[in-house]
Amino acid sequence: MAKAPRLTESASAVFAVLAGAGRATRPQLASLAGLSKPTVSSAVAELENARLAACSGTASGSTGRSAAVYVLGPAAGAVLAVDLGPALTRVRGCALDGTLLAQATGSRQEAADVVREALFALPAAAPLRSIVVAVGDVAAPEESGAGMRPATAKAGPVFDAMAVALPAGVPVHLENNVNCAALAELHEGAARGHHTFGYLRIGVGIGLGIVVGGQVLRGANGAAGEMARLPYPWDDDREPRQEALEEYIGARSLLRRAAAAWQDTDGPRPRTAERLFAAAGEGRATARAVVGRHAADVGRLAAAVTAVLDPGLIVLGGSTGAYPQLLPGVRAELARLSWPTEVVSSTVGDLGTVVGASRLAVARGVQTVTEAVGEKD
């Protein structure tokens, strides 16, 4: 990784503003950064000399005068976001203004090859500033380097196999995949305009992304929102088991319940959640009953979230949670057990995790450049 040049404080501030805006004139940069026009002119010249900014043309203002338009330069660099999903690995490479530069998808077992494919597609001259890897379980240390890895066996071996493809010397940050998807919903999905909400993912596993004041709540150990760890069941005759709630409400158990209830007259037994929900949509009585029970279970989980967080909004996502067919039952059960809370379906879909991880990677990459402050103005 090429080290970022040491910048003055004003150049650092202008670079951060330009990365967020994508393109801007010097008067716009001055307004956004809260700096004087002469200070911005000096900062822009510094960034141009370091190839961190470049002029991309001119724009006419309201007075009819033309002003130079600036964008990030070739030395600003790029970032990489990796979603180590349960079945697929998705990778995105982005410029520090968020522009998509490369993407690749493959199986979980092909994670290293997918990373290499995306890296190969990045501009050769763009230094890699940051890497964010989204995993199902995150170690308490937020940053990962040599010898550091996700804490649990679920993600560890896959991370180790993928890590051999990552360039040496580039900071690697681990983030919970549900938190990443929550960020995608906040900025580009169903939670736009909401600074506080819960993103409840229901699929093979379950998880909760908690956003408060526009920021993801991670907790003391980076484990906030680990709904799978809620004690379950609460019963006089049965002791709660670790992750028993996830086992009960996850997609595999949903399909097992469908198989147990299926009748010969119901047609072919659904082997995927997609087929189960399709059968319910076709009006198959058994499928509708199983989906209805699942909606009630998710509604009870949503009621637990509401009781603790009072988020005002719950976004349902995941391989089963995102189906709009669940909404009526979830809303009804939540209304029965708790106070009024809006419930909507995810709109970012399967790409939510890698989209959110890209946003985090961009923020980290910009921070890498702007922290290289050499002297005060």
Could you state, in order of their start, the residue ranges of all structural domains in the chain?
A: 9-75, 78-176+353-366, 190-347
Give me the sign of the Cα torsion angle 296, 298, 304, 309.
negative
Phi, psi of 44 (to 5 degrees): -65, -40
Q: Which residue has the tokens 């209830």?
A: 261
Of the two residues 359 and 126, the one the predictor is more confident about is 359
| 9-75 to CATH, choices 3.40.140.10, 3.30.1490.20, 1.10.10.10, 3.40.630.40 | 1.10.10.10
CATH of domain 190-347: 3.30.420.40
Residue closest to 90 by CA, chosen among 131, 133, 127:
133
Question: 37: which 2 tokens?
Answer: 């026009």
Question: 75: which 2 tokens?
Answer: 């030395």
Write down the pTM of the prediction.
0.88
Identical fold, 78-176+353-366 and 190-347:
yes
Residue 146: the pLDDT is 37
What are the residues whose beta carbons fall under 8 Å from the beta carbon of 63, sequence distance 6 or more? none
Query: pLDDT tens, 116-140?
Result: 999 999 998 889 999 999 988 764 4
DSSP label at residue 238:
B
What are the residues whose beta carbons fall under 8 Å from the beta carbon of 73, sequence distance 6 or more? 47, 48, 50, 51, 52, 53, 54
Buried b (16+ CB within 10 A) or exposed e, 45-75: ebbeebebbeeeeeeeeeeeeeeebbbbbeb
- Say yes or no to pLDDT of 377 above 70: no
Q: Are strands 88-95 and 128-135 parallel, antiparallel or unpaired?
A: unpaired
Q: What is the mean pLDDT of the chain?
A: 90
How many other CB atoms are there within 10 angstroms of residue 147's CB atom?
5
**% of the chain residues with pLDDT over 70:** 91
Distance between CA atoms of residues 330 and 302, nearest Å = 8
| 78-176+353-366 to CATH, choices 3.40.50.2020, 3.40.50.1360, 3.90.180.10, 3.30.420.40 | 3.30.420.40
